[in-house]
């Protein structure tokens, strides 16, 4: 009999990092995975068994785009309530803190949360403490180049490699003095990422930096470096990844993918359009990573949580095992943590998520009031962080009428949309 603290038995184990997919059991001892049994050759003490019959057991999920700096930035949420309690064991903050505000993210959020928190460091030294769309005010965090200091950013990254996994920049007119210094901000973010040896995550929307390659200009995403992450991939605003006729993914975007750039969902409150997603996925352009961009304006809809965004991709036809890879092994690889995260392996911390696929009949909204009927959804039923089990909260009530109304009100500002404006009728 295998001596373990407990075992999760009888579930379908899906571990994309190793290609494992089958019925089996996992034994946990001292917070680590002690055994993975796929042939029923191991006997466990029945008093310490968690039955997983009918469930799917996967590595602890990674949400590679959230905003976790609660109370210090306008967007911050409680990651234990909205990530861990919904099956996410590792959350990655996407630029809430910059070099001057990062110590607080570590002390007041990371060190006090059960959820593992990693971070992309914003190229602006103050991060998103109060800037543009994150505070409901005019202006952006990179309106002045004095705040975009490459050396300070690199120093902070290299001094905090246990927690900082990359650099973040918002390449957008509204964040860069109405676009006046946008290309220079982008250039500095690329430099900071390269110098510190970590990937760059880019938010690219309503931008003076073109999607298509132009002589003498930086473009996005093609001029990003292999291993960088292009978030908000299915957003419908100007600077979207589609060609001008809006019927296909831009050739330069396909070339960027072949170059090795990751494309991330980053759903949020304004960055996921059913129309864009349908055009992209019908062409076979699936996201590399699925993330929520979870913050105070998206947590009650339209993003809700990671499994809801996964459910949307499932409804679009993304293969289930690819969905699991996009929240486990792929984000772990993108943030250069595949040696310790995103895989079920003996000796690693027991970060484990248990899911089920359940029948339903609900509408799910995008960020612009468009809804699609969903017949099956992915639901978390168990989560362990470092071998300790945490409660899973009930799934949110979807759709949220207020979220749909907010989306309808923003619909006229999109560049890619359905022929008819959505309504509640």
Which CATH number is 31's domain given? 2.30.40.10
Q: Are residues 245 and 188 in the same domain?
A: yes
What tokens appear for 126 in the block? 């103050």
Residue 344 lies in a domain: no
pLDDT-based confidence at residue 126 (cuts at 50, 70, 90): very high
Share of the chain above pLDDT 90, in %: 88
Residue 247 lies in a domain: yes
70-97 pLDDT per residue, tens: 999 989 999 999 999 999 999 999 999 9
User: Under a CB-based contact definition with an 8 Å cutoff, are residues 379 and 355 in contact?
Assistant: yes
Instruction: Evaluate the CA torsion angle 129, 134, 138, 141 in order and state its sign.
Output: positive
Domain count, the chain: 2
Q: Are residues 281 and 248 in the same domain?
A: yes
Please tell me the distance from the alpha carbon of residue 163 to that of residue 177, in angstroms, as a whole number: 30
To which H or E segment does residue 184 belong? helix 182-196
Q: What is the pLDDT of residue 402?
A: 94
Q: Give the pLDDT mean for 192-205.
A: 98
What tokens appear for 52 in the block? 């997983």
Q: What is the pLDDT of residue 313?
A: 98
Pairing of strands 61-66, 56-59: unpaired
Please tell me the distance from the alpha carbon of residue 175 to that of residue 172, in angstroms, as a whole number: 6
Predicted model pTM: 0.97
Q: CA distances (Å), 2 to each of 8, 32, 46, 307, 347, in order? A: 13, 14, 11, 33, 15
Share of the chain above pLDDT 70, in %: 98
Q: Are residues 99 and 242 in the same domain?
A: yes
Q: What is the pLDDT of residue 36?
A: 96
Residue 136 pLDDT > 70, yes or no? no
Please tell me the distance from the alpha carbon of residue 85 to that of residue 187, in angstroms, as a whole number: 38
Looking up residue 167, the CATH number of its domain turns out to be: 3.20.20.140
User: Under a CB-based contact definition with an 8 Å cutoff, are residues 421 and 62 in contact?
Assistant: no
Q: Give the pLDDT mean for 117-138.
A: 80
Q: Are residues 327 and 357 in the same domain?
A: no
Residue 404 lies in a domain: no
Residue 137 pLDDT > 70, yes or no? no
β-sheet bridge partners, residue 61: 88
Residue 248 lies in a domain: yes
pLDDT-based confidence at residue 194 (cuts at 50, 70, 90): very high
Please tell me the distance from the alpha carbon of residue 169 to that of residue 37, in angstroms, as a whole number: 44
Please tell me the distance from the alpha carbon of residue 255 to that of residue 121, in angstroms, as a whole number: 27
Residue 288 lies in a domain: yes
Q: Give the pLDDT mean for 329-349.
A: 98
Q: Which residue has the tokens 């929240």?
A: 327
Sheet holding 229-231, edge to edge: 61-66, 88-94, 116-122, 164-171, 200-204, 229-231, 262-263
Residue 132 pLDDT > 60, yes or no? no
Please tell me the distance from the alpha carbon of residue 239 to that of residue 253, in angstroms, as a whole number: 11
Q: Are residues 270 and 361 in the same domain?
A: no
> Residue 26 belongs to what domain range?
6-58+350-395
Residue 419 pLDDT > 90, yes or no? no
Q: Are residues 168 and 266 in the same domain?
A: yes
Residue 328 pLDDT > 80, yes or no? yes
Q: Give the pLDDT mean for 376-384.
A: 98
Please tell me the distance from the alpha carbon of residue 83 to that of residue 115, in angstroms, as a whole number: 7
Q: Give the pLDDT mean for 24-41.
A: 94
- Please enumerate in sequence order all residues whose Cβ is within 8 A of that of 399, keeping only pairs 6 or more positions apart, or say none: 301, 302, 362, 363, 364, 365, 371
Q: Are residues 278 and 309 in the same domain?
A: yes
Residue 133 pLDDT > 70, yes or no? no
301-317 pLDDT per residue, tens: 999 999 999 999 999 99
Q: Give the pLDDT mean for 159-177.
A: 96
Q: What is the pLDDT of residue 128?
A: 92
Please tell me the distance from the alpha carbon of residue 94 to that of residue 406, in angstroms, as a whole number: 23
Q: Are residues 74 and 107 in the same domain?
A: yes
Residue 171 lies in a domain: yes
To which H or E segment does residue 371 belong? strand 371-385
Of 186, 79, 76, 169, give the one whose Cα is nearest residue 121. 169
Q: Are residues 391 and 255 in the same domain?
A: no
Q: Are residues 129 and 66 in the same domain?
A: yes
Q: Are residues 330 and 378 in the same domain?
A: no
Q: What is the pLDDT of residue 160?
A: 98
pLDDT-based confidence at residue 379 (cuts at 50, 70, 90): very high
Residue 21 lies in a domain: yes
Q: What is the pLDDT of residue 45?
A: 81
Q: Are residues 388 and 355 in the same domain?
A: yes
Q: What is the rounded average pLDDT for all residues in the chain?
A: 95
Residue 235 lies in a domain: yes
């Amino acid at each position: 009999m295998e001596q373990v603290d407990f075992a999760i038995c009888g579930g379908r184990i899906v571990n994309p990092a190793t290609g494992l997919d089958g019925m089996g059991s996992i034994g946990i001892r001292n917070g680590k995975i002690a055994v993975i049994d796929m042939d029923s050759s191991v006997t466990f003490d029945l008093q310490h068994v968690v039955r997983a019959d009918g469930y799917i057991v996967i590595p602890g999920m990674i949400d590679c785009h959230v905003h976790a700096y609660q109370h210090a930035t306008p967007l911050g949420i409680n990651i234990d309530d909205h990530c861990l309690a919904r099956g996410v064991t590792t959350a990655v903050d996407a630029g809430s803190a910059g070099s001057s505000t990062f110590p607080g993210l570590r002390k007041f959020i990371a060190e006090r949360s059960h959820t593992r928190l990693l971070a992309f460091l914003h190229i602006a030294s103050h991060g998103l403490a109060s800037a543009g769309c994150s505070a409901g005010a005019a202006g952006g965090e990179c309106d002045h180049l004095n705040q975009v200091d490459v050396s300070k950013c690199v120093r902070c990254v290299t001094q905090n490699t246990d927690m900082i996994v990359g650099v973040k920049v918002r390449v957008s007119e509204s964040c860069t003095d109405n676009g006046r210094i946008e290309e220079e901000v982008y250039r500095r973010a690329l430099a900071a990422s390269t110098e510190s040896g970590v990937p760059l995550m880019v938010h690219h929307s309503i931008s003076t930096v073109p999607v298509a390659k132009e002589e003498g200009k930086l473009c996005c995403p093609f001029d990003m470096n292999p291993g960088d992450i292009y978030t908000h991939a299915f957003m419908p605003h100007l600077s979207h990844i589609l060609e001008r006729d809006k019927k296909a993914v831009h050739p330069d975007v396909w070339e960027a993918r072949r170059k090795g750039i990751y494309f991330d969902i980053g759903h949020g409150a304004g960055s996921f359009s059913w129309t864009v997603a349908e055009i992209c996925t019908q062409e076979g352009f699936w996201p590399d990573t699925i993330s929520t961009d979870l913050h105070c304006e998206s947590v009650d809809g339209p993003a809700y949580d990671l499994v809801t965004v996964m459910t949307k991709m499932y409804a679009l036809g993304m293969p289930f095992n690819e969905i699991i890879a996009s929240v486990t092994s792929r984000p772990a690889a993108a943030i250069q943590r595949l040696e310790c995260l995103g895989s079920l392996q003996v000796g690693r911390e027991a970060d484990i998520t248990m899911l089920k696929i359940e029948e339903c009949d609900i509408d799910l909204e995008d960020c612009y009031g468009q809804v699609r009927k969903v017949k099956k959804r992915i639901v978390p039923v168990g989560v362990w962080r470092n071998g300790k089990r945490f409660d899973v909260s009930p799934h949110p009530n979807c759709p949220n009428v207020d979220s749909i109304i907010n989306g309808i009100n923003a619909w006229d500002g999109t560049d890619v949309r359905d022929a008819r404006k959505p309504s509640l009728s």
